[in-house]
């Protein structure tokens, strides 16, 4: 008897732990990546959708399936997952709102066209939109979801921690400082917090990230590409339900396709 009750209370404890970790994972990707202070490569964002086929060039039919129209918006219109709780008219409106988020979410790099060998210079990444509360930005070597590598693999070095300027214009250090200083904070990926776009009001957050890069020691043309990770559904009240504990729960759910990954074109910097 004793053993039985011991077992059943262990089972109860297990259930509690599983429930707690489920709650944690709800805030893991919707909510950005609060915990990975490292170089992030776009292949990780399997659930996210693309805006064009080019970012999966060479992947055949799969490239078409990854585009938001098919991977995400079609599931909204087909009333899959939580979308079925909306009326048809509301599903149409949700699609219109999500398209507005995509149309107003952008990433752009500012950099000198030419630098000297070994020179340290600034690259400013400007991002707009993203539903929030978080967006992610990475520097990579090519605009490809499966084949991109970190920008450092082609010879750029990151010097010091990136400076993150949030939508309110203030520098943010909380996310990057989670990485212990002794590990080096000179990474190619950041989360920006405090993002809040509103597809109904048509207001879009703007942030910027400044990386100090050191040029390679050999003359040449080197690629530099920005990758942008953002969500769409939390930008419209039709896209989520407010949960008393977990906050905004998106209709597409955690495994849905409402995230995006998009790229800048392949920029090249001339190292002389
Ligand atoms: C299990 C599916 C899944 C995977 C895998 C995934 N994401 Fe996401 N991610 C989502 C969803 C869904 C959203 C969109 C939330 C929304 O629409 O508002 C999202 C949004 C985001 C956001 C914006 C945060 C927000 O709340 O909108 C960032 C940043 C992000 N993901 C980064 C990443 C990175 C980096 C990886 C790889 C390490 C990754 N994601 C892998 C599902 C995923």
Give CA angle at 252 (250, 255), nearest 5°: 105
Whether residue 249 has its Cβ less than 6 Å from ligand 1: no
Residues with Cβ within 8 Å of residue 71, at least 6 apart in sequence: 49, 50, 65, 257
Per-residue pLDDT, 4 = 34
- CA-to-CA dists, residue 223 to 40, 141, 159, 208, angstroms: 17, 6, 18, 20
Per-residue pLDDT, 15 = 34
Long-range contacts of 80-87 (CB under 8 A, 24+ apart): 81/251, 81/252, 81/253, 81/256, 82/241, 82/250, 82/251, 82/252, 82/253, 83/251, 83/252, 85/251, 86/238, 86/251
Q: Report how far ligand 1's centroid is from the alpha carbon of 198 (Å).
A: 18
Kindly tell me the burial class for residue 10, based on how many C-beta atoms sit within 10 Å of its own C-beta (0-12, 13-18, 19 or more).
Answer: exposed
Euclidean distance between the first and the last CA atom of the chain, given in angstroms as a whole number: 80
Question: Cis (ω within 30 of 0) for the bond into 184?
Answer: no
- CA-to-CA dists, residue 144 to 175, 225, 232, angstroms: 26, 10, 21
Beta carbons within 10 angstroms of residue 67's beta carbon: 18
Whether residue 136 has its Cβ less than 6 Å from ligand 1: yes
Q: What is the pLDDT of residues 30-63, one digit of tens each?
A: 788 999 999 999 999 999 999 999 999 999 999 9
Per-residue pLDDT, 144 = 98
225, 226, 148, 160: which is closest to 187 by C-alpha?
160
Per-residue pLDDT, 143 = 98
Whether residue 46 has its Cβ less than 6 Å from ligand 1: yes
269, 170, 173: which is closest to 213 by C-alpha?
269
Q: What is the pLDDT of residues 164-188, one digit of tens each?
A: 999 999 999 999 999 999 999 999 9
Q: Report how far ligand 1's centroid is from the alpha carbon of 94 (Å).
A: 19
Q: Report how far ligand 1's centroid is from the alpha carbon of 29 (Å).
A: 4
Given a cut of 50, the residues of the chain with pLDDT beneath it are: 1-27
Among 231, 236, 243, name the best residue to mutate to test ligand 1's pocket (greatest count of ligand atoms within 8 A of Cβ): 231
Per-residue pLDDT, 12 = 38
Whether residue 82 has its Cβ less than 6 Å from ligand 1: no
Whether residue 30 has its Cβ less than 6 Å from ligand 1: yes
Q: Report how far ligand 1's centroid is from the alpha carbon of 30 (Å).
A: 5
CA–CA gap between residue 210 and residue 224 (Å, rounded)? 14
Q: Report how far ligand 1's centroid is from the alpha carbon of 48 (Å).
A: 7
Q: What is the pLDDT of residues 87-106, one digit of tens each?
A: 999 999 999 999 999 999 99
143, 137, 127, 136: which is closest to 51 by C-alpha?
143
């Amino acid at each position: 008897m004793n053993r039985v009750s011991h077992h059943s209370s262990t089972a109860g404890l297990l259930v509690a732990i599983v429930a707690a970790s489920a709650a944690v994972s709800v805030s893991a990707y919707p909510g950005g990546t609060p915990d990975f202070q490292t170089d992030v490569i776009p292949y990780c964002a399997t659930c996210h959708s693309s805006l064009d086929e080019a970012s999966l060039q060479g992947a055949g039919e799969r490239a078409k399936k990854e585009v938001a129209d098919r991977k995400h918006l079609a599931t909204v219109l087909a009333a899959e997952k939580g979308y079925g709780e909306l009326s048809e008219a509301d599903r149409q409106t949700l699609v219109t709102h999500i398209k507005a988020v995509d149309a107003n979410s952008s990433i752009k790099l500012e950099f000198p066209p030419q630098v000297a060998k070994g020179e340290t210079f600034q690259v400013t990444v400007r991002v707009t939109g993203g539903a929030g509360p978080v967006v992610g930005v990475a520097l990579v070597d090519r605009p490809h979801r499966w084949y991109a590598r970190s920008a450092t693999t082609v010879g750029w070095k990151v010097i010091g921690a990136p400076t993150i300027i949030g939508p309110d214009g203030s520098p943010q250090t909380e996310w990057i400082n989670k990485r212990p200083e002794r590990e080096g904070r000179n990474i190619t990926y950041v989360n920006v917090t405090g993002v809040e776009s509103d597809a109904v009001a048509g207001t879009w957050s703007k942030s910027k990230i400044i990386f100090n890069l050191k040029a390679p020691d050999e003359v040449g043309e080197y690629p530099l590409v920005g990758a942008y990770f953002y969500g769409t559904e939390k930008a419209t009240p039709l896209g989520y339900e407010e949960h008393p504990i977990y906050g905004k729960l998106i209709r597409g759910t955690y495994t849905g396709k409402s995230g995006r990954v998009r790229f800048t074109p392949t920029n090249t910097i001339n190292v002389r």
